[in-house]
Amino acid sequence: MLSQNQIFASGTRDLADLPLAEAVDSASLISAGDALALAFLGLLAGCMALERRRPCLRGSLAAVKASYKFNLITFLLNDFTLSLLSLPALYLAAESFRGLGLLGGMEDGALKFLTCFLLLDLTMYAWHYAMHHNDGLWMFHRVHHDDACLNVTTGLRFHTGEMCLETLTRAAFIVGVGVDSGTVLACQGVISLFVLMHHANLRLPGEQWLSWIFIVPRLHRVHHSTLRAEHDSNYGAVFSFWDRLFGTLKELEPAAIGLPPNGARGFVAILRDGLHTLAAAKGPAPVPVRANRDRHRPR
């Protein structure tokens, strides 16, 4: 998930110091960033309202409120941290290596943007897969899966360590693909809208048809199953055809959501999980990924 400050921050240079054409482009980027930020807030508020009226999975009001509180605080913490750390890395990577990557020679326009969007979504699929299949990365990512009350704000619940590593992944993407940071931030802003939507505790009209192309709530609920054999699936952020192509798609209704309980834990304790090794983690250590794969392998 992208810090919302980053969606439009790459357009914050003083427009008066730029040539007219570049100033117009920068002004357009700011407008696009504002539109994405408004869409983000509107989608978040709309999904929260619908979840209260027509939830797909019913939970106690206390559990929902606790989830909202934790997830929104985590989002604000990450937003502040990434505003300080992420944008300079992305901007410098784009400025230093612009034109040298895969799409460096392609003319700017809709085709380049769509190609960048597809490649970024594929990159996020691969990154998500890696977090589930590397024990060190999983210790960060498990904070996201620790929410037993799946709802739209779960799409904001990520460990700060994971967000910093994802920033480095996007910086590497800018270098390898050869697009400017503004394009990547715009693409990631659109992806963030899809991430909110597929975490929503809702049933969407026509989900069974939409799921042939997109990751919809019905598919992503499987990804938040308590069972490791089920939540190691459906890694896509926007498009479901990556999962179909690489054989990681599962279509079923999970019996339970979240990770097996380790007892009541507070905000700091949950975030601290990602800063411990498997051996030092407080409470029962999660079964390593490799051991889980062996456990669920057909005999």
Whether pLDDT at 258 is above 60: yes
DSSP 134: -
Both tokens of 99, joined, read 């034109």
DSSP 107: P
Share of the chain above pLDDT 70, in %: 75
CB 234 within 8 A of CB 84: no
Confidence at residue 88, expressed as pLDDT on a 0 to 100 scale: 63
Q: Rg of the chain's alpha carbons, rounded to an integer? A: 20
What's the gap between Cα 81 and its chain centre? 16
Whether pLDDT at 17 is above 70: no
SS (H, E, C) 6-47: HHHHCCCCCHHHCCHHHHHHHHHHHHHHHHHHHHHHHHHHHH
Mean pLDDT rounded to a whole number for the chain:
81
The two most distant CA atoms of the chain are separated, in Å, by: 69
Which of 155, 242, 226, 233 has its CA nearest to residue 192? Answer: 155
Grade residue 267 by pLDDT with cuts at 50, 70 and 90. low
Q: In angstroms, rounded to a whole number, what is the distance separating the alpha carbons of residues 108 and 285?
A: 49
pLDDT digits (tens, 9 = 90+) for 27-62: 455 577 788 889 999 999 999 999 999 999 988 889
> Mean of the pLDDT values across residues 84-94?
69
Reduced to 3 states (helix: H, G, I; strand: E, B; else coil), residue 95 is helix
- In 3-state terms the chain splits into helix, strand, coil percentages (rounded to 5) of 65, 0, 35
Most trustworthy range by pLDDT among 7-16, 80-89, 178-187, 211-220:
211-220
> CA angle 237-145-196, nearest 5°?
40
Non-local CB neighbours of 49 within 8 Å, separated by 6+ positions: none
> Mean of the pLDDT values across residues 139-161?
94
Q: In angstroms, rounded to a whole number, what is the distance separating the alpha carbons of residues 252 and 134?
A: 25
